[in-house]
Amino acid sequence: MHEPHSIVPAESAPEPAAAGPDSRTLKRVGIGAAVVALAIVGAGVATRISATNELRSTAAEAAVPTVAVVNPKAEGDGNALVLPGTVQAYNSAAIFARTNGYVRSWLADIGDRVRADQPLAILDAPDVDQQLAAAQADYQTALANQRLAATTATRWQALLAQDAVSRQEADEKAGDLAARSALSNAALANVKRLKALQGFTRLSAPFDGVVTSRSAQIGALVVAGNAAAQPLFTVSDTHRMRIYVRVPQNYSASVRPGMAASITLPEYPGRTFPATLTSSAGAVDAQSGAVLVQLQAANPDGALKPGAFAQVSFKVDAGQGNGMTLPSSAILYGNDGPTVAIVGKDGRVTVKPVSIARDEGSTVRIAGGLSPRDRVVDTPPDAIRTGDRVEVQAPAAGRGAANGR
């Protein structure tokens, strides 16, 4: 009988490993990470867009230049033409030596008032003195020969009347007399020439005036006819003065002989000297484009000095311009001529051509087309164009121009 098989207990089955996160959790984590990444990307894009917009705004603001503006000024003396002039003496003479010699003495100095024929200097010319002595001796010899020839010719004419000599011989004696007379005249002319040279050793004033220069020094050698020589003296007649002015061509028709003018000098501020236009060259200088005119002014107290610089004011026709002035820096010069940039109320620029009636250096006078209310850009950039937007600079404290945006 078979023994019953004993039941062997089966080994306990191993427990399954601990389960990992389920798929639902993983999805949630992935979605969260994606959301965070999108948020980071969105924040970065938003920051970049904001920076770009700010940069565009800054660039736009920087593209609008800030400019200073000035207002055209209406001058009260809009018909006054002020031009530079040169003062010269009514008469001026440079005194040179006419003969060689040494300066023995000078009798007048700069600033001295002299009369006509008043001696200025005395020269020593010993060679001229000796030449004059020799010429006088030659003249006496020629004169003696002339007298002998005259006596001989007279005698031969008497003998010819008695038929004691031939006519040919009498004519020869008469011809010898004529030749001797010519030699005598030539010797006399040489004497007079040397006497004139000797007289030039005394330098005299040609007219009443003032000695304005002196280069004569005692003992100095003076050589006549030297092109490089300086005048020993200069005498100027300053009782009246001549003033020379170059008038621009566009004003040449407004200035005419007889019109009055006023002169100012820098050494006499606040003082004016009356003058009268006496003559005009009547021709336009090709280099300067101006007409040279001459004025005369009385100078009783000697305030006007030869060679001085002066400002000459003419009263010209009022139609020469509307009296509006601008700084020279406000004018823009281009291919189309002079223009100005005017800023409107909206900050937009209008480039407008103008006509310059007169250039006065630091300022220019405009012929027309502007009003005192216009805001003109001072020192405009070359690239400025109509329609450009600008920012008007606030006026400085105490500035007279009424500027605004």
pLDDT in tens, 28-55: 777 777 777 777 877 777 777 776 766 6
pLDDT given for residue 355 in this prediction: 82
Give yes or no for residue 381 having a pLDDT over 70: yes
Continuous H helices in 119-166: 126-161
**Of the candidates 216, 199, 208, which has an alpha carbon nearest to the alpha carbon of residue 107?**
216
- 136 contacts 187 by C-beta, under 8 angstroms: no
Rounded to 10 deg, the angle between the 126-161 and 167-199 helix axes is 160
> Is 221 among the domain residues?
no
Q: What confidence category does residue 61 fall into, taking pLDDT thresholds of 50, 70 and 90?
A: low
Average pLDDT of the segment spanning 250-271: 90
Residues 6+ apart with CB under 8 A from 298: 239, 240, 274
Tell me, yes or no, whether 243 and 290 share the same domain.
Answer: yes
Per-residue pLDDT reduced to its tens digit, 169-228: 888 989 999 999 999 999 999 999 999 988 889 999 999 999 999 998 999 998 887 877
Tell me, yes or no, whether 309 and 289 share the same domain.
Answer: yes
Residue 328 tokens read as 């020279």
Residue 255 tokens read as 């200035």
> Is 378 among the domain residues?
yes
Tell me, yes or no, whether 328 and 314 share the same domain.
Answer: no
User: How far is CA 361 from its chain centroid?
Assistant: 10
**Domain end (from 287, 320, 353):** 320
Which of these ranges, 58-62, 208-212, 257-261, 306-310, has the smallest mean pLDDT?
58-62
**Angle (CA) 235 236 241, round 5°:** 175
Task: Answer whether 0.85 is exceeded by the pTM.
Answer: no
Tell the residue number behind the tokens 């009424």, with chain if given. Answer: 402
Q: What gap in Å lies between CA 398 and CA 396, rounded to an integer?
A: 6
pLDDT given for residue 10 in this prediction: 47
Which of these ranges, 90-104, 320-334, 370-384, has the smallest mean pLDDT?
320-334
Tell me, yes or no, whether 328 and 273 share the same domain.
Answer: no
Q: Which strands sit side by side in the sheet containing 119-124, from one edge to the other?
A: 202-204, 119-124, 101-106, 221-222
Give yes or no for residue 88 having a pLDDT over 50: yes
**Domain end (from 304, 320, 336):** 320
Average pLDDT of the segment spanning 239-265: 91
> Is 136 among the domain residues?
no
Q: What is the DSSP letter of 303?
A: -
Q: What gap in Å lies between CA 340 and CA 352, rounded to an integer?
A: 5
Residues 6+ apart with CB under 8 A from 36: none
3-class DSSP state for residue 244? strand
**Of the candidates 304, 99, 92, which has an alpha carbon nearest to the alpha carbon of residue 205?**
92
Tell me, yes or no, whether 298 and 327 share the same domain.
Answer: no
> Is 125 among the domain residues?
no
Structural domain boundaries enclosing 250: 239-320
- 364 contacts 375 by C-beta, under 8 angstroms: no
> Is 19 among the domain residues?
no
Tell me, yes or no, whether 306 and 328 share the same domain.
Answer: no
- The residue with greater pLDDT, 15 or 276, is 276
CATH number at residue 358: 2.40.420.20
> Is 270 among the domain residues?
yes
Total tally of structural domains belonging to the chain:
2
Tell me, yes or no, whether 297 and 332 share the same domain.
Answer: no
**Domain end (from 320, 344, 373):** 320
The tally of CA atoms less than 13 A away on the side-chain side of residue 196 is: 7
> Is 271 among the domain residues?
yes
Tell me, yes or no, whether 246 and 315 share the same domain.
Answer: yes
CATH number at residue 248: 2.40.30.170
- The residue with greater pLDDT, 66 or 145, is 145
> Is 231 among the domain residues?
no
Q: What gap in Å lies between CA 357 and CA 342, rounded to an integer?
A: 19
Tell me, yes or no, whether 312 and 337 share the same domain.
Answer: no
